[in-house]
């Protein structure tokens, strides 16, 4: 099958115009037959969720065939002008809290709206990625921590600790259950203290593990064994489990987010960012314009409230009797409430904070918005990229 045949197949399958601009969701295929199959599978999926009429399909022939899917320009301008996906639920009357199908639609639409393409080596990896994002959102909504910038504790009936291996799972204990008990008080009956950064790792790991049980049991078994021996944390966790979407050279729009994204809001104030735990804030985007608040899960952040909280960290900074910098959380909360009730002050603060962040170590003109987001790597048997 040659390229013309494939394009004709696309027209027959999609009945939409072709575009050669790679954006949205891309599936890389080794052969024309794989490209046709991927088109048919994803088109059937889009038809099933009722948005196929708004999706354009493109084809690029490089070393492989890349099939791209994106929302038509006219509809994109209607539902997400300037790349703002925070209003998708309001625009389309989605109820993602109570309706899993609405959450799925929001995830897919946000990905299809991406100016930087999401790359997948197969339709199966795309399907797994969508399920993992749903897992992350569902688990993140249930996650709650006891506030502490230094303490670290886990359920003793599932976890053990050593300096050499970190927190590991006791032999014979389920990794999925252990992660749920550590992060979800509905499962454990208790709030545990550890950093929001580590909590984001656990929520991601849980979402991946739940999908691996379904699509790749062998890799799930390896993951279980890994956490019985040694935890993967921090920079190593990022390298093993995550992919970067966007960059300093190709930044994502400040209001572009996909449910399930992990992201960092930077504290652009040099003094207060020098306090442990206040360098910035790691959160997940839950969809519907809301971001996780692990300390008060029933009060998730909006983009505005998160930016204003981080802004006021500078106003809650003081030195204790030992001369160490600290943050007065009560003062910060009072300042946030006062600001949120003053539309003019909200606008003034957001003009500063909604700028893209500066590179690490620089302070002056940047805001708190990161140029990239993070999402899990491939997990399927033939294409997984998880070097355990």
pLDDT in tens, the chain (388 residues): 344 555 565 554 443 334 445 689 999 988 888 888 888 899 999 999 888 888 988 887 766 788 999 998 889 999 999 999 999 999 999 999 999 999 999 999 999 999 999 999 999 999 999 999 999 999 999 999 987 656 789 999 999 999 999 999 999 999 999 999 999 999 999 999 988 899 999 999 999 999 999 999 999 999 999 999 999 999 999 999 999 999 888 999 999 999 999 999 999 989 989 988 899 999 999 999 999 999 999 999 999 999 999 999 999 998 998 989 999 999 999 999 999 999 999 999 999 999 999 887 767 787 899 999 999 999 999 999 888 8
317, 331 Cβ separation under 8 angstroms? no
pTM confidence score: 0.92
**In 246-359, where do the E strands start and end?**
262-266, 280-287, 290-291, 317-319, 325-327
**C-alpha to C-alpha distance for 115 and 133, rounded to whole angstroms:** 19
Both tokens of 281, joined, read 């804030």
Both tokens of 282, joined, read 């790691």
**In 35-74, where do the E strands start and end?**
55-61, 65-71
Both tokens of 113, joined, read 């709206």
Residues whose CB is less than 8 angstroms from the CB of residue 246 and which lie 6 or more positions away in sequence, other chains included: 116, 252, 371, 372, 373
Closest CA relative to residue 45, chosen from 27, 64, 29: 27
Where is 251: in which H helix or E strand? none
65, 31 Cβ separation under 8 angstroms? yes
Q: Which residues of 70-105 are buried (b: 16+ CB within 10 A; e: fewer)?
A: bbbeebbeebbeeebbbebbeeeebebeeeeebbbb
Pairing between strand 317-319 and 118-120? unpaired
209, 129 Cβ separation under 8 angstroms? no
**In the chain, where do the E strands start and end?**
25-29, 55-61, 65-71, 118-120, 145-146, 159-162, 166-169, 192-193, 242-245, 262-266, 280-287, 290-291, 317-319, 325-327, 373-376
**C-alpha to C-alpha distance for 11 and 279, rounded to whole angstroms:** 51
289, 302 Cβ separation under 8 angstroms? yes
Rounded alpha-carbon distances, angstroms, from residue 125 to 84, 138, 195, 216: 26, 20, 31, 11
């Amino acid at each position: 099958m040659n390229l013309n045949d494939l394009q004709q197949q696309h027209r027959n399958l999609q009945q939409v115009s072709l575009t050669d601009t790679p954006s949205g969701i891309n599936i890389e295929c080794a052969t024309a037959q794989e490209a046709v199959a991927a088109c048919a599978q994803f088109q059937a999926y889009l038809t099933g969720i009722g948005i196929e009429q708004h999706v354009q399909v493109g084809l690029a022939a490089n070393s492989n065939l890349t099939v791209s899917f994106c929302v038509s320009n006219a509809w994109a301008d209607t539902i997400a002008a300037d790349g703002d996906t925070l209003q998708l639920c309001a625009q389309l009357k989605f109820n993602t809290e109570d309706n899993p199908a609405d959450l799925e639609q929001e995830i897919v639409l946000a990905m299809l709206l991406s100016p930087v393409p999401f790359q997948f080596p197969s339709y199966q990896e795309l399907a797994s990625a969508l399920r993992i994002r749903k897992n992350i959102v569902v688990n993140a909504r249930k996650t709650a921590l006891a506030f502490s910038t230094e303490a670290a504790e886990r359920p003793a009936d599932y976890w053990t600790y050593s300096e050499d291996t970190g927190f590991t799972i006791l032999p014979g204990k389920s990794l999925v259950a252990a992660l749920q008990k550590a992060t979800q008080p509905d499962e454990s009956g208790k709030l545990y203290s550890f950093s929001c950064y580590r909590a984001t790792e656990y929520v991601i790991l849980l979402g991946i593990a739940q999908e691996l049980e379904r699509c790749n049991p062998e890799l799930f078994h390896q993951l279980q064994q890994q956490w019985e021996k040694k935890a993967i944390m921090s920079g190593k966790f990022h390298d093993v489990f995550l992919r970067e979407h966007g960059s300093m050279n190709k930044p994502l729009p400040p209001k572009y987010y996909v449910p399930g994204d992990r992201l960092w809001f930077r504290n652009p104030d040099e003094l207060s960012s020098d306090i442990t735990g206040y360098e910035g804030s790691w959160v997940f985007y839950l969809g519907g314009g809301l971001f996780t608040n692990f300390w008060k899960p029933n009060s998730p952040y909006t983009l505005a409230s998160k930016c204003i909280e981080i802004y006021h960290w500078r106003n809650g900074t003081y030195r204790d009797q030992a001369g160490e910098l600290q943050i007065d959380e009560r003062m910060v909360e009072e300042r946030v409430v006062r600001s949120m009730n003053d539309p003019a002050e909200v606008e003034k603060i957001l003009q500063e904070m909604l700028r893209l962040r500066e590179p690490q170590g620089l302070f002056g003109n940047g805001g708190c918005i990161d140029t990239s987001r993070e999402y899990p790597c491939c997990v399927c048997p033939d294409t997984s990229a998880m070097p355990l």
